[in-house]
Amino acid sequence: MAELPEDAGGPSGPGRSAKETVAFIGLGIMGGPMAICLLRAGHSVIGFNRSPEKTERLSSAGGTAAGSIAEAAANADVVITMLPDSPDVEHAVMGAGGVLAHLRPGGLLIDMSTVHPRTARLIAREGEALGIDVLDAPVSGGEQGAVTGTLSIMVGGPVEAFARAGPVLSALGTTVVHVGPSGAGQIVKAANQMVVAGTLELLGEALIFLEAWDVDRELAVQVLAGGLAGSQVLDRKAAPMLARQFDPGFRIELHHKDLGIAMDAARQAGISLPVGALVAQLMGAARAQGLGELDHSALLVVLEALSGLSPGDLTPS
Ligand code: NAD
């Protein structure tokens, strides 16, 4: 395991002077602000998104919009992909007009999407055969972390490629750790997603429990946050849950995908994760109930239904 050296992204460190031309594929909730962080750090950014209107913010901030993945990759030293799911990444990277067909040998591909470790390993193998370094570097920290460049980034792949990626990754995150070979970043991310979903689930149960006993939930959350029950999930999600503001953030659709990755990888490893499996089923129920486009904190709505509460029973405090 290695962390980026302190000077990898520091204002006067040597890493800061290594300016790269970065092609950024996927300018959604996360990729849009991440691309802006790269510009702010002095890198050149060529952005591509399937729906082209999402490149407008990048262009007005000083970046360039590309008309295709091929065009973006052909003009870059480093390509970052930030796409929804494994098939999207496989198509964007290995398809006919994809990254590997157009990035020059010696280039670096960093996939920052959350995908199956199998996809990460497949892309790394294909890249290696073409002389292209590949890292899997999924992130945690949400939209807020993407906007402020304070993501936690878990990186799998060759250690030399990790060192090379330093000036780019340090513009996006404050905790950047090399956790092992190709695919290891995605395994760590799957563990992260189980912890976040499980914490959200118990936070939802706690809010229902507090309401059932007619306790002021805002005061309860305040004191919970100061003790061992405190967490970033509590700090960032309790207030929107109480206010019933479920605009994404992180969509239930994506968390459902991530828990599917975790369950599949656990099965492949021959281990049992009973609570993780239960939470995965509850997230699946949220999606089945038509909540897939809401923030994952809307898991609360499913938990309310289990207690016979309609959404109106838990009014904003
Ligand atoms: P999003 O749906 O907001 O963004 C994905 C973007 O990719 C969209 O703009 C879409 O138009 C674009 N896109 C899809 N297919 C494309 C293609 N073939 N070529 C070019 N563009 C394409 O999703 P997001 O929330 O930004 O998440 C992206 C990834 O990051 C996912 O894997 C997600 O699990 C992960 N992630 C998200 C969060 C979060 O809080 N939103 C946090 C950590 C990790």
Clarify whether residues 175 and 34 are in a common domain.
yes
Atom of ligand 1 nearest to the CA of 112: 30
Whole-number mean pLDDT of the chain?
94
Predicted TM-score (pTM) of this structure: 0.93
**H/E element holding 286?**
helix 274-286
How far are the Cα atoms of 128, 131, 190 from residue 114, in angstroms, in the given order?
A: 21, 24, 8
Place of tokens 């008309």: 67
pLDDT band at 18 (very low <50, low <70, confident <90, very high): confident
Same structural domain, 196 and 272: yes
Cα 201 to ligand 1 centre (Å): 23
Residues with CB under 6 A from ligand 1: 25-31, 48-51, 54, 82-84, 88, 91-92, 113-114, 139-140, 142-143, 249-250, 254, 258
Pairing relation of β-strands 2-3 and 173-180? Answer: antiparallel
* Domain final residue pick, 146, 180, 214: 180
Which pLDDT tens digit goes with each residue over 204-220? 999 999 999 999 999 99
Q: Which domain holds residue 150?
A: 2-10+20-180
When divided into structural domains, the chain yields a total of 2
So what's the pLDDT on residue 17?
Answer: 46
Phi then psi for residue 76, to 5 deg, are: -120, 160
Say whether both 104 and 227 belong to one domain: no
Q: Counting atoms of ligand 1 from 1, which one is nearest the CA of 248?
A: 41
75 CA to middle of ligand 1, Å?
22
Q: In this structure, are 249 and 172 located in the same domain?
A: no
- Residue 40 belongs to a domain with what CATH number? 3.40.50.720
| Centroid of ligand 1 to alpha carbon of 171 (angstroms) | 19
Same domain, 49 and 115: yes
Residues 54 and 150 grouped into a single domain: yes
Are residues 165 and 25 part of one domain? Answer: yes
**Residue identifier of the C-alpha nearest atom 19 of ligand 1:** 50
CATH of the domain at 280: 1.10.1040.10
- Residue at which a domain ends, from 129, 164, 180: 180
Confidence tier at 6 by pLDDT (50, 70, 90): low
**Pairing state between β 139-140 and 21-25:** unpaired
Q: Does residue 317 fall inside a structural domain?
A: no
Q: pLDDT tens across 81-124, in order?
A: 999 999 999 999 999 999 999 999 999 999 999 999 999 999 99
pLDDT for residue 310: 79
Segment 16-25 shows an average pLDDT of 84
- What distance in Å separates the CA atoms of residue 35 and residue 238, rounded to the nearest whole number? 29
Which of 159, 180, 201 is at the close of a domain?
180
